[in-house]
Structure 1
Amino acid sequence: MSSNERDRLDGRRALVTGGSKGTGRAVVARLREMGADVWTTARTMPAGYERPDRFIAADTSTLEGAALVAGRLAEAGGPLDILVHVVGGASTPSGGFAVITEDQWLTELHLNLLGAVRLDRALLPAMLESGSGVVLHFTSIQRELPQYDASLAYAAAKAALRTYSKGLANELAPRGVRVNAISPGGIETEAYERFVDRIADGNGLTREAAKQTIHDSLGGVPLGRFAQPEEIADLVGFLVSERAAAIVGAEYVIDGGTVPTV
């Protein structure tokens, strides 16, 4: 295989969850640039979406949503070659452990752990039958650096996703399917920029001062900024390509140096 071919994904089918905006959208664009036939799923299809024939509107945090996605892909025929679980997020109110209700714990677990588990269970058998494939789970630096005030349930779910991902990798590698994880720190998405605006407006700060406040809450970001969605997508592109053919069960941290440990 030539050097150029190792960077290409021509003829491969991919699914990206949470692919309608932010990091997910950047991942979809990167995989398409590399030649893949990319499907994406999110709760709502954006207005004017350029490939509606490759979009599945579904809530993958639910049993019904996962089944809908698996059904649509089965109708399209053939196994997936690439599965990238980007979807995730935290919606817990601030106030520490005591304010996290039973329902809120379940919401975070379904979105950040069990949705990926269910889709894997539905989609990996065909991938295994074909004898090849790549799965990427998006974890978070919060599995190592949990923030207790408003995202403890999210951090716990992402830690569980990492453990699940490592065990799955060990099981599937002998059968030709590679499983790895990506652990992002802060990402400068549209949602992050809106969060910066709220911090700035609520505290009478400039946007730069608001960003510094956010960085300080994490103990600092040595790089001085969060990652761009396209930088995360570049890492995805590498890990699903043939250049990463010997990488199995790894977790790649991309956080500008935020996690202060080796």
Structure 2
Amino acid sequence: METILKGQVALVTGGTKGIGKAIADKLSSKGAQVVVTARTAPEENLNEHYFIAADLTQPQSAAVIAKEILTKYGKIDIIVNNAGANLSPGGGFDALTDEHWYNDWQLNFLSVVRINKLLLPAMIKQNSGVIINISTGAAKLPIWEMTMSYSSAKAALNAYSKALANELGSKGIRVNVVSPGVVKTPLMMDFIENIANSSNITVDDAFKVVMDKVGVPLGRMAEPDEIASLVAFLVSAEARYITGTNYAVDGGALPTT
């Protein structure tokens, strides 16, 4: 086992499945003590991550998470704000209610702002820390009939992350964004199945619709571990001069650099 993160405490929100679980497992394998959050506890916790139950669409959850981490460990070294999802239906602007917009922004943007605000004082006090905000390629290339409110919340996350990196650089804290494209997760497979059901087409046809919309030169979905590997590098000392950057992990889908 590599121990490049030994002694460090890392928070991974949404860390019990999909990309979040891959990130949590990867950081743990590098020696970090990993804290994960989700609405419900996983059925099994083979890697012994410390679990905190939290629904990040609820504003009070950030305070619960921050208090428990700082009480138990007395510090925080790494924050990976991974929790996020496209909570709204497809169909464009007319299909979206105020509640859809509110829920997407609570989970995908405001929860990140709240968690960072409550944990950053501990990082500033120790003059070190790394924040990775997980965004999406859809923030730069929104699909109007699928991701309108979700994309707008993640675009705000990108701008916020750059501003935060500029503010915190002199305090020894780095902030970067990782923007996955289409990743093979349970959430993505549910999304594709919902498209199939709502459009009365097969799952294979729905998958083709998504891939055609996104346009992936490598021709496949990413595996969660491929996202986790980049995150593990960015939180390590090997990336100590990297901050304020947004990394696309999308198989070449974004048509511009």
- Closer, same or farther: CA 96–53 of 1 in aligned 2, 3 Å: closer
Provide closer, same or farther for how the CA distance between residues 71 and 223 of structure 1 changes in structure 2, counting only shifts above 3 A: same
Q: Give the match for residue 135 of structure 1.
A: 131
Partner residue of 2:210?
A: 214
How far apart, in 1, do the equivalents of 2:48 and 2:41 lie? 8
Structure 1 window deviating more from structure 2 (90-99 vs 246-255): it is: 90-99
> CA-to-partner distance for each residue in 1:171-199, whole Å, 9 max, x for gaps?
00111000000011110112323444555
Deviation track 1:121-157 (CA, whole Å, cap 9, x = no partner) reads 0001011100001000011111110111132111000
Identical positions, percent: 43
Report the number of matched residues.
256
Q: Which residue of 2 aligns with 1:37?
A: 33
CA shift digits 1:196-237 (9 cap, x unpaired)? 455567655473x5432221122x210001110000000100
Which residue of 2 is the match for residue 232 of structure 1?
227
- Give the conservation status (yes or no) of the 8 Å contact 2:192–2:203: no
Contact 2:34 2:49 in 1 (8 A): no
Aligned residue number for residue 252 of structure 1: 247
Q: CA RMSD in A?
A: 1.9
Query: What residue in structure 2 maps to residue 110 of structure 1?
Result: 106
Structure 1: unaligned runs, 5 residues or longer: none
Match of 2:235, as an amino acid?
Answer: V
TM-score (norm 2): 0.93
Paired with 2:13 and 2:248, the residues of 1 have a C-alpha distance of 20
Corresponding position: 1:54 with 2:50 = yes
Within 5 A, what are the aligned runs for 1:168-247? 168-197=164-193, 203=200, 205=202, 207=204, 209-218=205-214, 220-247=215-242
TM-score (normalizing by structure 1): 0.92
Between 231-240 and 87-96, the greater mean CA deviation after superposition: 87-96
Distance 1:43 1:176, change over 3 A: same
Mean Cα deviation higher: 91-100 or 128-137: 91-100
2:84 to 85, 88, 93: 88
Q: Which moved more, 1:91-100 or 1:104-113?
A: 91-100
SS at match of 1:135: strand
Distance 1:161 1:200, change over 3 A: closer
